[in-house]
Amino acid sequence: MNFERLEIRDLILCSPKILNDDRGYFVETFVERKLNDFLGFNVNFCQDNESKSSYGVLRGLHYQLAPYAQSKLVRVIKGSVLDVAIDLRKNSSTFGQHISVELSENNKKQLFIPRGFAHGFIVLSEEAILAYKVDNYYRASHERGISFDDKDLSIDWRLPTKSITVSTKDKKNSSFQDSDFFDFNNKLYA
């Protein structure tokens, strides 16, 4: 597994070694000690989630407030998505900035998103199955969302707005300016 820090330093792109032969392929999708060694701290994932979505479905931008904030390790099992993470840490030099990464069944790349970020994705293929690990359990009372088309964020979702499908719940997400943010005092974890 190769780990690469992105423009927002705490976002990590994980690229596995893919072993191909005439039978198919083999890939290690998660090795706890390797990720923890690279990060310099331990992430204790407690739950795996999976979603299936059709072309143009946009899920997000979601996050949970402390003490139920979540780190995520996101990958695509089938299809292709544009995965987006936004820095919501008020004291960060990259506060309000985002990263977009294409994750697919072909490239098998994964995105590690630490606590303090909002996350969302849009399906670029006919359908996509996305799987991700989280290090904290879902807590509805601490769940928040930011509007995917917020002008302050200027995210290029690669699809025309008329092709984007958003849930009724996500249509009610707040603007970036009206969102709740994190204050980690330069720490990844509260």
Looking at the annotation, which residues are catalytic? 62, 132
Which amino acid makes up residue 22?
D
* Phi and psi angles of residue 80, each rounded to the nearest 5 degrees, phi first: -150, 140
Beta pairing class for 165-166 and 57-64: parallel
Q: 187: helix, coil or strand?
A: coil
| DSSP SS3 for 75 | strand
Q: Which two tokens stand for residue 125?
A: 């293929």
Taking the C-alpha atoms of residue 154 and residue 159, their distance in angstroms, rounded to an integer, is 13
- Tokens at residue 4, please? 């690469």
Query: Would you say the C-alpha torsion 12, 17, 22, 24 has a positive or negative sign?
Result: negative
